[in-house]
Structure 1
């Protein structure tokens, strides 16, 4: 492998500047920087937004001291050089303030991604993000997979990957392991798929 192939496309600082300009100039454009590659995250549709609203209410009912921060940018990967725009980041209320667009992941107990109906979902939400979140040490990664009608709970990060991955079809109860520590029914998700 050549030296050029191992270098990121751009430096993290350059990415942050580009993402800030893009967000200001192009409505709805959300950029990410994972595994040294620049990526574009699809704009969420209305059902996607309803899923995040529904999940926020569930989190509030079970863990009122936490908040599900929507569309939160976090620093990811082993050396915090990556930047991911999560659909949701569950953390103690008030714990992410004063950090700008890309927050330190230390207080984050769980990240949430809801698949979009685009060609990059498989690579981004099912492969790249689980690896980046596990490398970061985020305890739980919750994937709501609208393409396949599944909820996938990743837990026990070992620094490279999640050691435990549990898949539950829509309509069944799903258990979120500690440190999140609650379960809920996924029945309502059946209403928010195409």
Structure 2
């Protein structure tokens, strides 16, 4: 896992996100898997263990995806997260490939169980190499941390971000968020001498 000097997964730049989703992830499954991590700010295990029914309904992609409490870190509350239009696009493209009786959105090897997070990590490593991005500091958790930090940078209230992330406290969430160049520039521009 790529980590920065403070022990946290790197925050991705918009250019890195674009490159990964346009050229790095070559399969619809991979774009959907990591799209959930980014656009729903989900942990990789939460993404890997999603059930089809928590994302896809009788009319197609649901407006909100459901991350069940039993799949969250520490068995937190079940979360419903609005599906971003780009995530809906990734999920729609991928849903055309789904078949079989496996209830998981991302089936494991030979269609059994769900994809393992180690397999997801291999997919990410291959995508990073494909687009020649440095693997050090990058991990599946980079997508979650990026999403939450970008929400904070955009002025989304911390309580709302907390409801999406599932952090138990605002203090835990604040420690988790990264400081981006945009925040540094905003801080400097507010100085009054």
TM (norm. structure 1) is: 0.26
Please state which structure has a larger fraction of its residues in strand: 1
TM (norm. structure 2) is: 0.26
Please state which structure has a larger fraction of its residues in helix: 2
Compare relative contact order (CA 8 Å, sep 6+) and give the higher one, 1 or 2. 2
Higher-Rg structure is 2
